[in-house]
Amino acid sequence: MSRVTVIAHISDLHVTGDAARRSRICAVVDHVNARADGIDVLVVTGDITDDGTPAQNTEAAEILGAARVPTLVIPGNHDRRPEFSRALLAGAATDLPLNRSATVAGVLYLMCDSTIPGRDDGWLSDASLGWMESEIVAAGADTPVVVCFHHPPVTLGMPFMDGIRQIGEDRLADLIARHPNVVGSLCGHAHTGAVTTFAGRPLVIAPGVSATLKLPFEGEGIVDATQPAGIAFHQLDGFRLITHFRSVV
Ligand SMILES: [Fe+2]
Ligand SMILES: [Fe+2]
């Protein structure tokens, strides 16, 4: 029997410097740490800071630095590449897409930067897609690949979010379709635990840590701050992704 990989997936922390926000995020990291022996990796799919300031990035690095499992991060539209690179990737300040790959317990994670500086919608550049393809090919067809980015490449029945989703998604769908070992895609941005398909594979949106966004029938306004923070736990059994959601009250 193949070994089951466990991925803790969180998103949209939106570190502001505010103490209440910090304690909400820390409770999520504590929830992961208390179960660290059973978790292979923590994936954080963007909007880690609220405004991308150096102070927010420093605080985010401190909070995520307390995670007791390998932690993989990508920026969202609220982050800024230069500050994010320095604080959260120990890299140089750069305006280029912050694409990274990591292999953990035999699984390849492609952490893809879908942000467009100065805009809220998303896009994977041709260079990013080319990098993804070369990474998948280099890993080989027997390696499960988990593709991670911030912006959902589909509509979700959420009018506000659907207007700032990832565009140019046909190119990404073609890439995934060429590689059967891509087990699925993980993203954030929509602040709602949700599951659908993309390119015939699972696409999972992590619940928001900072707040939840409403569906059209859930009342006035967009943000629901009364919902607890959430985590997605993905089990990867061979090439099959199984997702469980948890709230952190
Ligand atoms: Fe967000
Ligand atoms: Fe976002």
The alpha carbon of 189 and the centre of ligand 2 are apart by a number of angstroms equal to 4
Ligand 1: centre distance to CA 76 (Å) = 7
Q: Domains in the chain, please, with CATH?
A: 4-248 (3.60.21.10)
Q: Which protein residues have their CB within 5 A of the ion that is ligand 2?
A: 47, 76-77, 189
Q: In angstroms, rounded to a whole number, what is the distance separating the alpha carbons of residues 122 and 215?
A: 21
Dihedral sign of CA atoms 99, 124, 8, 105 in order: negative
DSSP secondary structure string, 31-50? HHHTTGGG--EEEEES--BS
In the reported structure, the alpha carbon of residue 153 is separated from the centroid of ligand 2 by a whole-number distance in angstroms of 12
Per-residue pLDDT of the chain (249 residues; tens, 9 = 90+): 458 999 999 999 999 999 999 999 999 999 999 999 999 999 999 999 999 999 999 999 999 999 999 999 999 999 999 999 999 999 999 999 999 999 999 999 999 999 999 999 999 999 999 999 999 999 999 999 999 999 999 999 999 999 999 999 999 999 999 999 999 999 999 999 999 999 999 999 999 999 999 999 999 999 999 999 999 999 999 999 999 999 998
Question: By the 8 A CB rule, do 42 and 10 touch?
Answer: yes
Q: Which helix (H) or strand (E) holds 10?
A: strand 4-10
Ligand 2 centroid, distance to 190 Cα (angstroms):
7
Cα(122)–Cα(52) distance, rounded to whole angstroms? 17
Ligand 2 geometric centre to CA of 19 (Å): 21
> What is the distance in A from the centroid of ligand 1 to the CA of 13?
7
State in Å: Cα 208 to ligand 2 middle. Answer: 10
For the CA of 152, the nearest ligand? 2
* Token pair 């997605």: residue: 232
